[in-house]
Copies of this chain bind each other. A is one copy, B any other.
């Protein structure tokens, strides 16, 4: 399926006193990669995606990562992201981080295509992922 790759420079502020990336920063990078993946497949940005489909976001319900090799400020990593599967209201994403030829991190995500609950707007509720969205990734 559709794969998106982007290069990310590890910044000084991404790193901790051991000189390597503070791992929560990787999850922020993965979030941006998932957004970039949808942007590349759909052809418009997340702001327009939310407005077009009347959703409030694609919140995380389950995520995990294996950190195989640390990176430090000044390194450039490559993040490869793709949809692993779509279900009715949720979907899985996989990320692979490469530093040169070395596989540095493997991560997975389960997210929900989420709107406001019509019964209670303070609550978030999974809604059906439009076919138009699924088809954009099948190309």
A residues touching B (Cβ–Cβ < 8 Å)? Answer: 9, 11-13, 15-20, 22-25, 27-28, 31-32, 35, 45-48, 56-57, 59-68, 70, 72-74, 114, 124
When all copies of this chain in the complex are counted, the total is 4
Instruction: Determine which of B16, B27, B47, B66 lies in contact with A16 in the assembled complex, contact meaning CB atoms within 8 Å.
Output: B16
| A interface SS class | mixed
Contacts beyond the supplied A13-B28, A47-B73, A59-B70: 8 A-B pairs with Cβ under 8 Å: A11-B28, A12-B16, A12-B35, A17-B72, A23-B60, A45-B74, A46-B74, A64-B64
Point out the residue from B32, B60, B70 that lies within 8 Å of A67, measured CB to CB.
Answer: B60
Q: How far is the CA of A45 from the CA of B19 in the complex (A)?
A: 14
Chain B proximity of A115: nearest CB distance (Å): 10
Known: A24-B27, A72-B47. A15 touches B12 (CB 8 A): no
A109 CB to closest chain B CB, in angstroms?
9
